[in-house]
Amino acid sequence: MRFGRYLTVMASSWLLMAVAVAAVNVAVDAIGISPVRVAVAGFNEWKPLHGEYDWIAKRHDVRRQQPRTIFMGSSRIKQSVDPKLVVDTGFAPAYNGGINGSAEYAELGAYLQDFLRTDSNLQHVFIEVFAPVLLSHRTSPRKRELPPISPILYQCSSPRAA
């Protein structure tokens, strides 16, 4: 085989495999962020990683669902607030935006900025407040920004790890 042909085979097989991987990811969509939303029972209906990748999933959820109310905070909010409780009130539709381990206000602020940018219906935001964290933030405020949202390429580790 000539070198040119070798390169062609290498590039085309790489492309084919990359497309196959992307297609499987988009179709299976274990996190629940794919733009292709076809649910097939027993295949991709269940999104097992949705709860584990809050920092990706919640941003996509808010963009899709356009809730009127968002509850923000740490895992306490995530575990204890049921948005269905406000279903017949002026707060509906509501969304639980609690993120595991997210008690830092610079991080919450970054998510809030993102929600405000992508959710045109947003009117009410409830934010969990820890007095010590809030006070320490006041003395040393830091601003954080989230990376651009993408349905296929996403940051596998939490932005706070960086």
Partner 1 sequence: MLFNSFQFIFGFLPTICIAYFVIARFWGDRAGMLTLVVGSLFFYGWWNERYLWILLLSIACNAGFAIALIRGEQKQRLWVLLVGLGFNLALLGYFKYESFFAQNLGMLLGVDWHIAQEPLPLGISFFTFQKIAFLVDAYLGGVVAFDLLHYSLFVTFFPQLIAGPIVRHNEIIPQFATLPRTPRASDFAIGVSIFAIGLFKKVCLADPSAQWVHPVFSAAASGQAVGFVDAWVAALAYSFQLYFDFSGYTDMATGLARLFGIVLPINFYSPYQSVNIIDFWRRWHISLSRFLRDFIYIPLGGNRRGVVRRYVNLSIAMLLGGLWHGAAWTFVVWGAVHGLMLALNHAWHHLRRRIGPPPESDPAIVRVTACAVTFTAVTSAWVLFRASSLDSAATILSAMYGIGGQDVLRPVATYWGSQWNLLNALQWAESSAIWLLLVGSVAFILPNTYQLFRDFRPALVERPFEDAAFKLRLRWQPNRRWAVGLSLMLLIAILRIRELSPFIYFQF
Residue numbers at the binding site for partner 1 (CB under 8 A) = 1-7, 9-11, 13-14, 17-18, 21, 153, 155-157, 161-162
Which of 69, 65, 68, 63 minimizes the C-alpha distance to 150? 63
Nearer to partner 1, 22 or 38 (CB): 22
Contacts of residue 38, Cβ cutoff 8 Å, sequence gap at least 6: 27, 44
Pair of tokens at residue 46? 């269940």
Nearer to partner 1, 123 or 150 (CB): 150
Pair of tokens at residue 86? 């406000």
Contact 85, 119 (CB under 8 A): no
Contact 68, 95 (CB under 8 A): no
Nearer to partner 1, 107 or 119 (CB): 107
Closest contact distance (angstroms) between CB of 21 and partner 1 is 7
Nearer to partner 1, 41 or 153 (CB): 153
Closest contact distance (angstroms) between CB of 18 and partner 1 is 6
Closest contact distance (angstroms) between CB of 52 and partner 1 is 15
Q: Indicate if the alpha-carbon torsion angle 75, 80, 83, 84 is positive or negative.
A: positive
Q: DSSP 3-state assignment of 126?
A: strand
